[in-house]
Amino acid sequence: MIDLSKLTIKSAAEALKKKDFSAREITEASLNAIKEKDGEVHAFLEVFDDALFQADEADRRIADGEELSLLGVPIAIKDNMLFSGHCSTAGSKILEGFTAPYDATAIKKLKEAGAILVGRTNMDEFAMGSSTENSAYSVTRNPHDLGRVPGGSSGGSAAALAGEMVLGSLGSDTGGSIRQPAAHCGVVGLKTTYGRVSRHGLIALASSFDQIGPFAKTVTDAEIIYDAIKGRDSMDSTSIDESTYAHRKEYEKVIGVPRAFVEEEGVSAAVRKNFDEAVEKFESLGYKVVDISLPSVPYSLAAYYIILPAEVSSNLARFDGVKYGLHVDGENSIDDYFKTRGEGFGRETRRRLILGTYVLSSGYYDAYYGKAQKAKELITSELRQAFRSVDLIMTPTTPASAFKFGEKSNPLEMYLEDIFTVHANVSGCPAISLPFGKEGDLPLGIELTADLGREDNLFMAGKDFLGE
């Protein structure tokens, strides 16, 4: 039996090409691992019943001599990406039983690259959360400690990989939902430059921040998935191509550390110590690490938690009980609408809908939404200015390691989990979380952010750092 814990995407793709094993065999190994472990972890909401058909098709393509980067490789996808003919619920009751009528572009591209899509993974409802506790279906457990959260909102995708049930997975990152669970689960997680991966067919959370991206065991594997899914798409007018950010600074291995921000209150002692060790490690690898000042960047969190609910309140208006999923009968159509949304949406979603409607209301628009947009511009220009002299900015990914279920019942405490990740979404910059160090037995992550369009810098530094 194939042991997925001994394989990466790269090594599996090579073995498949050499016919050391077949796509069917590795897919069976993935399905068996899910059967064996997912009863405890609950990373998956559904295992697709056509996984073995996909595998047989991949075996035919391998026999025909096709060479594709993901041919025969088992991958999991987050429950907010449309996969034609399969159910997609975004972790919400309001979409229970909804069948996707077409493929999201990223899914189409994964299929074109030959990936086997084995199942859809659990997530916080509509990707709002940092623990996957907001899913309407179940909690997902951290494979490193079943009493703790895997992070969120893409907790299922991170746990499926960390639990050795697949070789890679897709998540979506609007404020940190790939990087934060990657850090808590000890894997690599990449948030791409805004527009790098098409959002067509991704169930929208906040359209100006959302990006699909990979979870992988190595930076090399993350890059393989990234190469497969990126690119301009006529179905997403905000998607970009290689020429969009053409002004290229030469890579000089200079990393900026916003000291004041990193040493912020609320960061655990283990995370601080680990961060210092990461600095030393980069220095020993020939990197120059310099202190920089980013006074506006800490305000990213406040700006994010105004802009995000505003966009949520608009995007989620489409769930009216008529067009998709759940419908609850009331006295009249307006009552249908209230009842459907009242029953279909969970607590956190309702909280953000109310918040979003409030910050967009005519009396408060300038004070909140308008101000947050100005802050967003300031943060973006501050970061872009910094990238004139440094190639990367380094912070911890999270203020501490994975927490226990129920530990962050105060929503504001939960929002603070995103303190180091949201600047990348607010500015559109790409960022990666690299597994490094531990707090007790729990993994920690180091985050690198690069200038718009400079995923190449993240890959170079990430590979140097992890010794790939």
Catalytic residue numbers? Answer: 78, 153, 177
Spatial strand order of the sheet with 254-257 comes to: 44-47, 116-121, 74-78, 168-173, 211-216, 188-191, 431-439, 442-450, 392-396, 254-257, 288-291
Residue nearer to ligand GLN on the CB measure, 30 or 174: 174
Q: Looking at beta carbons, which residue is closest to ligand GLN?
A: 177
Q: Is 175 in the site for ligand GLN (CB under 6 A)?
A: yes
* Block residue for tokens 């890679």: 168
CA distance 35 to 101: 28
Q: Which is nearer to ligand GLN, 142 or 220 (CB)?
A: 142
Number of residues interacting with ligand GLN: please give it, by CB under 6 A: 14
User: Rounded CA gap, 284 and 278, in Å?
Assistant: 10
Q: What sign for the dihedral angle of Cα 416, 417, 419, 424?
A: negative
CB of 448 to ligand GLN, least distance (A): 18
Q: Check residue 455 for interaction with ligand GLN (CB under 6 A).
A: no
**Which lies closer to ligand GLN via its Cβ, residue 177 or residue 220?**
177
Does 426 bind ligand GLN (CB under 6 A)? Our answer is: no
Kindly state the tokens that stand for 269.
Answer: 């002692």
| Token pair belonging to 373 | 């947009």
Q: Hey, which residues between 95 and 134 contact ligand GLN (CB under 6 A)?
A: 127-130
Q: Does 203 bind ligand GLN (CB under 6 A)?
A: no
Out of 72, 74, 163, 176, name the contact with ligand GLN by CB under 6 A. 176
Task: Please tell me whether residue 153 binds ligand GLN under the rule CB under 6 A.
Answer: yes
The span of 10-18, 171-179, 221-229, 403-411 binding ligand GLN (CB under 6 A) equals 171-179
Cβ atoms < 10 Å from Cβ of 111:
18
CB 304 within 8 A of CB 417: no
Closest CA to 391 of 344, 314, 448: 448
CB of 178 vs ligand GLN, minimal distance in Å: 7
Q: How far is the CB of 130 from ligand GLN (least distance, A)?
A: 4
Query: What percent of the chain is helix, strand and coil (3-state, nearest 5)?
Result: 40, 15, 40
x/- mask, ligand GLN, residues 271-310, rule CB under 6 A, reads -------------------------------------x--
Report how far apart the first and last C-alpha atoms of the chain are (Å, whole number): 27
Q: Does 177 bind ligand GLN (CB under 6 A)?
A: yes
Q: Which two tokens stand for residue 299?
A: 């305000």
Contact with ligand GLN (CB under 6 A) among 38, 79, 103, 173: 173
> What's the min distance (Å) between Cβ of 121 and ligand GLN?
13
> Is residue 443 a contact residue for ligand GLN (CB under 6 A)?
no
> CB of 455: closest distance to ligand GLN in angstroms?
18
Closer CB to ligand GLN, 203 or 216, in the complex = 203
- Write down the least CB distance from residue 240 to ligand GLN, Å: 20
Q: Are 412 and 388 in contact (CB under 8 A)?
A: no
For strands 431-439 and 188-191, give the pairing: antiparallel
Q: In angstroms, what CA-CA distances link 234 with 199, 226, 237, 452, 462?
A: 11, 19, 6, 21, 31
Q: Per CB under 6 A, does 431 bind ligand GLN?
A: no
By CB under 6 A, is residue 202 in contact with ligand GLN?
no
| Angle subtended at Cα 378 by Cα 374 and Cα 382, rounded to the nearest 5 degrees | 170
CB nearer ligand GLN, residue 275 or residue 304: 304
**Residues within window 381-420 making contact with ligand GLN, judged by CB under 6 A:** 418
Residues that bind ligand GLN (CB under 6 A): 127-130, 153, 172-177, 205, 308, 418
